[in-house]
């Protein structure tokens, strides 16, 4: 069961250039230092990578600038700033640019620069220098930990299929499972209109969330922390605002920034999504590790999934990240159930790997009390299944991390 799709080879460096052909001699220099573990990006690819938070902060950003870039240094500016925010090393490769432009970029925080074409050994000397600087830094008092968390959105294909119930209980089971480990879990309600996370966990809807959404430019680590509460001080929660707000009150840029901040602060970020598609749906899908989609064995779910997949295909979005969950699935005593599930998934051309059982009245009662199933009815069949998924996810993520380090 592919719950988590693991990342492939670890990139150590990215070389960004408006036109890589003008810096073609750089290839062999980079190969000498990084072997296969570097990649060349044009401006829009670099913007996309930084935007979707595809970097851990361990990589080096090599920014190539030439005369033509001086007319508009803004994109270069933006990459240097974004990379420094992640605490990355930034090296400029300058081809015939003015001392003024070079000075400007170094002031923004670039760590070093070299002229193009490169003098022999220039690049490896620069990296030796940066590495020893880095070592001195890591010996210094520990900096704030950058967690590089996994984004786990939950989408309900139709109203009432159990999206919020799954998101809340999944997040809580993950928080319980990681209690004694140095791992942090967050639950984020992105349904600014009818989000029910606050109700399901009996948490206040905070004015700070309203302020954050109405004044999106103020979003930073500080304002985000102020907007969040916690459930039993173990699970960080961003609930929906006290007043109903339009879903497009924030744009894709806000969402990218929010997700990046969350990834930095938490190891696991479970997101309860609204049913409606928004300007920022694609951004959530793009940074997601796995995108849980709940459905039921009925025509309503089937038709919605079909229409949904059509949108993903038209927009060229990564549909392969979707992990389908069949809620209120027929149990093993239901002999025709298996056949029906098979027919259902075949007709949609999807794979359903996770089945959740009917949990009875206890499930709604638990939500009404404002507590997770773990607290109200720990032996409930639905609870047991969600707990299994939560522990599998945490354990697989830890294994994947151990393999990378």
Q: Which residues bind Mg ion (CB under 5 A)?
A: 163-164
CB atoms within 10 A of CB 164: 23
Please give the backbone phi and psi of residue 121, each rounded to the nearest 5 degrees, phi first. Answer: 65, 0
Q: Closest approach of Cβ 336 to ligand ADP, in Å?
A: 19
Is there a contact between 291 and 209 (Cβ–Cβ < 8 Å)? no
The H or E element containing residue 324 is strand 322-329
Beta-sheet strands, E only, within 191-280: 229-231, 235-238, 268-272
How many angstroms separate the Cα of 163 from the Cα of each of 1, 22, 149, 296, 325?
21, 50, 21, 11, 10
Binds 86: which of Mg ion, ligand ADP, none (CB < 5-8 Å by kind): none
Binds 345: which of Mg ion, ligand ADP, none (CB < 5-8 Å by kind): none
For Mg ion, which is the closer residue by CB, 89 or 165? 165
Residue whose entry in the numeric block shows the structure tokens 């979003």: 219
Binds 358: which of Mg ion, ligand ADP, none (CB < 5-8 Å by kind): ligand ADP
Task: Point out which residues bind ligand ADP (CB under 6 A).
Answer: 156, 159-165, 196, 327-328, 356, 358-360, 363-364, 367, 382
CA distance linking residue 153 with residue 289, whole number of Å: 8
Binds 356: which of ligand ADP, Mg ion, none (CB < 5-8 Å by kind): ligand ADP
For ligand ADP, which is the closer residue by CB, 50 or 373? 373
CA distance linking residue 405 with residue 400, whole number of Å: 9
For Mg ion, which is the closer residue by CB, 253 or 275? 275
Q: Closest approach of Cβ 14 to ligand ADP, in Å?
A: 39
Is there a contact between 238 and 186 (Cβ–Cβ < 8 Å)? yes
For ligand ADP, which is the closer residue by CB, 132 or 369? 369
Rg (CA), the chain: 24
Q: Closest approach of Cβ 175 to ligand ADP, in Å?
A: 18
Q: Closest approach of Cβ 278 to Mg ion, in Å?
A: 15
Q: Closest approach of Cβ 273 to Mg ion, in Å?
A: 9
117 preceded by a cis bond (ω within 30 of 0)? yes
* Torsion of the alpha carbons at 293, 297, 301 and 305, rounded to the nearest 10: 60
Binds 159: which of ligand ADP, Mg ion, none (CB < 5-8 Å by kind): ligand ADP
CA distance linking residue 138 with residue 3, whole number of Å: 34
For Mg ion, which is the closer residue by CB, 23 or 166? 166
Binds 187: which of ligand ADP, Mg ion, none (CB < 5-8 Å by kind): none
For Mg ion, which is the closer residue by CB, 163 or 367? 163
CA distance linking residue 302 with residue 398, whole number of Å: 34
CA distance linking residue 251 with residue 51, whole number of Å: 13
CB atoms within 10 A of CB 177: 19
Binds 242: which of Mg ion, ligand ADP, none (CB < 5-8 Å by kind): none
Binds 301: which of ligand ADP, Mg ion, none (CB < 5-8 Å by kind): none
CA distance linking residue 60 with residue 30, whole number of Å: 11
Which is it for strands 235-238 and 229-231: parallel, antiparallel or unpaired?
antiparallel
Q: Closest approach of Cβ 382 to ligand ADP, in Å?
A: 5
For ligand ADP, which is the closer residue by CB, 196 or 223? 196
Q: Closest approach of Cβ 155 to ligand ADP, in Å?
A: 9
Q: Closest approach of Cβ 369 to ligand ADP, in Å?
A: 11
Among 276, 267, 301, 307, which residue's Cα sits nearest to residue 177? 267
For ligand ADP, which is the closer residue by CB, 105 or 390? 390
Binds 53: which of Mg ion, ligand ADP, none (CB < 5-8 Å by kind): none
For ligand ADP, which is the closer residue by CB, 11 or 354? 354
Binds 160: which of Mg ion, ligand ADP, none (CB < 5-8 Å by kind): ligand ADP
Q: Closest approach of Cβ 191 to Mg ion, in Å?
A: 6
For ligand ADP, which is the closer residue by CB, 92 or 294? 294
Q: Closest approach of Cβ 333 to Mg ion, in Å?
A: 29
CA distance linking residue 43 with residue 172, whole number of Å: 40
């Amino acid at each position: 069961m592919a719950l988590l799709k693991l990342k492939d080879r670890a990139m150590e460096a990215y070389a960004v250039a408006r036109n890589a052909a003008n810096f073609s001699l750089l290839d062999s220099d980079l190969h000498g230092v990084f072997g296969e573990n570097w990649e060349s990006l044009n401006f829009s690819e670099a913007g996309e990578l930084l935007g979707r938070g595809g970097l851990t902060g361990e990589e080096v950003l090599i920014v190539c600038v030439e005369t033509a870039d001086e007319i508009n240094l803004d994109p270069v500016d933006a990459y240097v700033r974004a990379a420094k925010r992640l605490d990355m090393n930034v090296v400029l490769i300058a081809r015939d640019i003015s001392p003024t432009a070079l000075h400007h970029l170094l002031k923004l925080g670039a760590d070093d620069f070299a002229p193009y074409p490169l003098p022999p050994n220039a690049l490896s000397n620069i990296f030796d220098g940066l590495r020893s600087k880095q070592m001195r830094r890591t010996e210094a008092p520990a900096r704030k930990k950058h967690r590089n968390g996994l984004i786990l959105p939950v989408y309900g294909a139709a109203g009432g299929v159990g999206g919020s119930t799954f998101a809340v209980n999944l997040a809580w089971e993950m928080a319980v499972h990681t209690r004694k480990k140095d791992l942090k879990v967050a639950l984020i309600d992105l349904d600014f209109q009818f989000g029910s996370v606050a109700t399901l966990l009996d948490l206040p809807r905070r004015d700070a969330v309203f302020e954050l959404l109405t004044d999106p430019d103020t979003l930073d680590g500080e304002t985000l922390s102020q907007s969040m509460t916690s459930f039993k001080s173990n699970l960080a929660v961003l609930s929906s605002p006290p007043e109903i707000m339009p879903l497009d009150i924030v744009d894709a840029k806000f969402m990218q920034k929010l997700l990046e901040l969350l990834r930095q602060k938490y190891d696991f970020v479970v997101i309860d999504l609204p049913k409606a598609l928004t300007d920022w749906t694609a951004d959530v899908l793009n940074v997601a590790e796995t995108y849980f989609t709940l459905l039921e064995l009925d025509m309503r779910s089937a038709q919605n999934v079909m229409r949904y997949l059509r949108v993903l295909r038209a927009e060229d979005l990564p549909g392969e990240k979707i992990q389908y969950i069949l809620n209120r699935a027929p149990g093993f005593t239901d002999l025709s159930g298996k056949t029906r599930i098979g027919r259902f998934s075949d007709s949609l051309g999807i794979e359903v790997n996770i089945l959740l059982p009917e949990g009875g009245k206890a499930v709604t009662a638990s939500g009404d009390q404002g507590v997770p199933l773990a607290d109200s009815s720990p032996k409930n069949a639905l609870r047991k299944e969600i707990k299994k998924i939560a522990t599998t996810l945490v354990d697989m993520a830890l294994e994947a991390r151990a393999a990378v380090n």
